[in-house]
Amino acid sequence: MKRFTAFLLLVSLLVFSLAGCGEKKPSEAPTVTPSEEATPELTATPTPTPTEAPVVNPLDSMTLKDRYKDVFKVGVALPNSVISNASQMEVVKEQFNSMTFENEMKPEALLDREATQKGYPDTKTEPILKFGGIERGLRFAEENGLGVRGHTLCWYSQTPAWFFTVDYQPNSALCSKEVMIARLESYIKQVMTYCQTNHPGLIYAWDVVNEAVDPGTGDANGIRKGKNLWYETIGPEFIQYAFRFARKYSDGTADLYYNDYGCANKRTIIVKVLAPILAEGNIDGIGMQSHLSTGDNIQNTIYKTAKYFASEGYKVQITELDIGVKTLNEDTELIQAMKYKLLFQFMEQAKLNGEIDIDSVTVWGLYDTISWRSKEHPLMYQTFKLNRKMAWYGAMQDPEIKAFEW
């Protein structure tokens, strides 16, 4: 409670000092959102007086998934270390209604190297997969009402090099385009069919292709080329093939997504690359990873980009949100919370006013110390004890956090 009082003080100080020193441009002043005005119970926090009892934040008894239940799912990426931790999963099911496997559904985890190699040449165009690593998570999701994002079918990374060679041996030559297209089809067919058969309707979005646009080092159209064995074997059409196969084998219960980072900077290139796929009717949305830092302007990088994708005919999801800070102290934690608040606020408003068709916002991990960016403390919980950070209150759009950008 002491901490919260200090936090309130800090908020006022920061707001006061920033407003005072003129860093806040009038054009970027925070919009007072209808949601804040429309939720009077959230503004009912008693003003502390010196002798008064501790402040109780009414948000403490609420949860993320309930806060946004009429707007979008709130998701979290989970490694198996969390999935197998019963007490942490209690918090997961209390707070979230969507999950993504942080690594276990990636090709390097699903491809059974030994069986595929052993089975060659029968396995030439039919690699063997193993699904043991995702069963526990899928069952948990099913039993507790969480939807699942399928991440990811076709990616240059975390897909083993042996998968691309003629006989699946690491040092052999790369296989032909025809064989690789057949392997891509078989892989997508097997993963989707397994999930749809054993857990019907559970997966509501597939990241069919991940991170295929890289204007810096890509080809003339901005398609990622370097270290991309999909490109090397199939050519730039690998993207189109992946979406074609995903549509072919989908039972229609999931949307098909293209997922990428740094979308603000490459949005027009992404839309250009995806245009033929959209024209074929094989894609539904664009996943914006949103690996951010507190220096990022949420309105410009996230909201405007999402709005642009929406205007081009795509659904949008925030798929891997985390917001890094260099060092974590009360000031930076507050700024981080402001950024979380702005992101949720912009997305909620855009959904409610029909600007952006967005059905989930997912954070990339449960707590800081196991985040892939652990040095930047980018998440809403701090340690395995799952102590809430201000970022959680930000994501809940706590009215005490006066969020604005400059």
Q: Which residues bind ligand XIL (CB under 6 A)?
A: 102-103, 210, 289, 320, 372
Looking at beta carbons, which pairs linking 273-280 to residues 24 or more positions away fall under 8 Å? 273/212, 273/213, 273/221, 273/222, 273/223, 273/239, 274/239, 274/314, 276/240, 277/239, 277/240, 277/243, 278/312, 278/313, 278/314, 280/240, 280/243, 280/244
Catalytic status, residue 178: no
Q: Minimal distance in Å, beta carbon 320 to ligand XIL?
A: 6
Q: Minimal distance in Å, beta carbon 246 to ligand XIL?
A: 16
Q: Which residue's CB atom is positioned nearest to ligand XIL?
A: 372
Q: Is residue 260 within a helix (H) or strand (E), and if so which, with residue range?
A: strand 255-260
Contact present, 289 and 264 (Cβ < 8 Å):
no
- The residue (of 147 and 365) whose beta carbon lies closer to ligand XIL is 365
- The residue (of 57 and 305) whose beta carbon lies closer to ligand XIL is 305
- The residue (of 103 and 198) whose beta carbon lies closer to ligand XIL is 103
- The residue (of 64 and 379) whose beta carbon lies closer to ligand XIL is 379
Q: Minimal distance in Å, beta carbon 294 to ligand XIL?
A: 19
- The residue (of 211 and 348) whose beta carbon lies closer to ligand XIL is 211
Q: For 175-299, where are the alpha helices, taking DSSP H only?
A: 177-198, 229-234, 238-249, 263-279, 298
Helix (H, G, I), strand (E, B) or coil at 56: coil
The active-site residue, picked from 104, 211, 333, 400, is 211
- The residue (of 376 and 398) whose beta carbon lies closer to ligand XIL is 376
Q: Minimal distance in Å, beta carbon 370 to ligand XIL?
A: 9
Contact present, 172 and 166 (Cβ < 8 Å):
yes
Contact present, 396 and 64 (Cβ < 8 Å):
yes
- The residue (of 159 and 210) whose beta carbon lies closer to ligand XIL is 210
Cα 264 from chain centroid (whole Å): 15
- The residue (of 209 and 396) whose beta carbon lies closer to ligand XIL is 209
Q: Minimal distance in Å, beta carbon 259 to ligand XIL?
A: 6
Q: Minimal distance in Å, beta carbon 26 to ligand XIL?
A: 36
Catalytic status, residue 312: no
Q: Tell me which residue of 172, 158, 159, 155 sits closest to 120, measured CA to CA.
A: 172
Return phi, psi of residue 199, to 5°.
Answer: -140, 65
The active-site residue, picked from 102, 185, 320, 376, is 320
Sorted by sequence, the CB contacts under 8 Å of residue 325 that are 6+ apart come out as 293, 294, 332, 333, 335, 336, 376, 377, 378
Question: For tokens 């949100």, what's the residue?
Answer: 321
Q: Is the peptide bond before 121 cis (omega within 30 degrees of 0)?
A: yes
Backbone angle region of 6, left / alpha / beta, with phi > 0 → left and psi within -120 to 50 → alpha: alpha
Return phi, psi of residue 244, to 5°.
Answer: -60, -45
Alpha carbons 59 and 344: distance in angstroms, whole number: 15
Q: Minimal distance in Å, beta carbon 312 to ligand XIL?
A: 22
Q: Is the peptide bond before 152 cis (omega within 30 degrees of 0)?
A: yes
Contact present, 53 and 61 (Cβ < 8 Å):
no
Q: Which amino acid is at 369?
A: T
Q: Minimal distance in Å, beta carbon 322 to ligand XIL?
A: 9
Alpha-carbon Rg for the chain, nearest whole angstrom, is 22
Report the catalytic residues: 211, 320
